[in-house]
Every structure is written in structure tokens, then in C-alpha cells.
Amino acid sequence: NAGVTQTPKFRVLKTGQSMTLLCAQDMNHEYMYWYRQDPGMGLRLIHYSVGEGTTAKGEVPDGYNVSRLKKQNFLLGLESAAPSQTSVYFCASSHPYGYTFGSGTRLTVV
């Protein structure tokens, strides 16, 4: 039982490049979330999903897309990375309470 697994853990992108962050959970949770955390700040919700095949916008969705094709996976995509997207990205899942967080992805856009 791994809980919530995020890949990759670290990544450096050049401005304009694209990438996908993967979040996988093995707890059969219905709800999944993507947050970003900038230095010295709280977690801000990017997108979330209340079940397989559903997605919804959070507080800061611009510049990101998501997909939930399988219940256990929630993908976060950056189509054209910008330096403002440099951050630590956390994925979480819940059922709907009892949130479990992944260990984070540290993304740097240069």
C-alpha cells in the first residue's frame, strides 16, 4: 500500500516546454487534487476531480490541464511552461475526508 505516489520528484524545464506530472493512488479514493505551493506560502488548489472522468477548476487553474481517465490516476499537464510555474506541486486524494498527500514534485522553469 503505497498511498499517493507522485512522479517525477524533481524536474527542470525550459520556458515553453511541456510536461506531465503523474499522481497515482492505491486507496480507491474518489477525490483527487493538485495543489501548488510557492516558497513561504500556503497550498493553492489548481484542479480537482470528484471521480473518474471528471475534472473541475480550482483557485489557480490557468496554464494547467488535467485528466482523470482512470480512478487511480490524476495527471497534471503544463502545455507551455513559464517561470511563474516554478513551484512545488502536491497531489492529494480523499474519500471524501481523510486527505492523503504525495511527497511533492519540485519543478523549476528556467
Partner 1 sequence: GENVEQHPSTLSVQEGDSAVIKCTYSDSASNYFPWYKQELGKRPQLIIDIRSNVGEKKDQRIAVTLNKTAKHFSLHITETQPEDSAVYFCAARTDKLIFGTGTRLQVFP
Whole-number Å distance between alpha carbons of 30 and 94: 7
Place of cell 522553469: 109
Beta strands in the chain (DSSP E): 4-7, 10-13, 19-25, 31-37, 43-49, 56-57, 64-67, 73-78, 87-94, 100-101, 105-109
Task: Indicate the length of the chain as a whole number.
Answer: 110
Binding flag, residue 64, partner 1 (CB under 8 A): no
- Using the minimum distance from each CB to partner 1, give the nearer residue, 35 or 74: 35
CB of 21 to partner 1, least distance (A): 15
- Using the minimum distance from each CB to partner 1, give the nearer residue, 14 or 98: 98
Binding flag, residue 86, partner 1 (CB under 8 A): no
Considering only 22, 27, 43, 60, the residue that binds partner 1 (CB under 8 A) is 43
**Which residues bind to partner 1, rule: CB under 8 A?**
33, 35, 41-45, 48, 50, 56, 58-59, 90, 92, 94, 96-99, 101-104
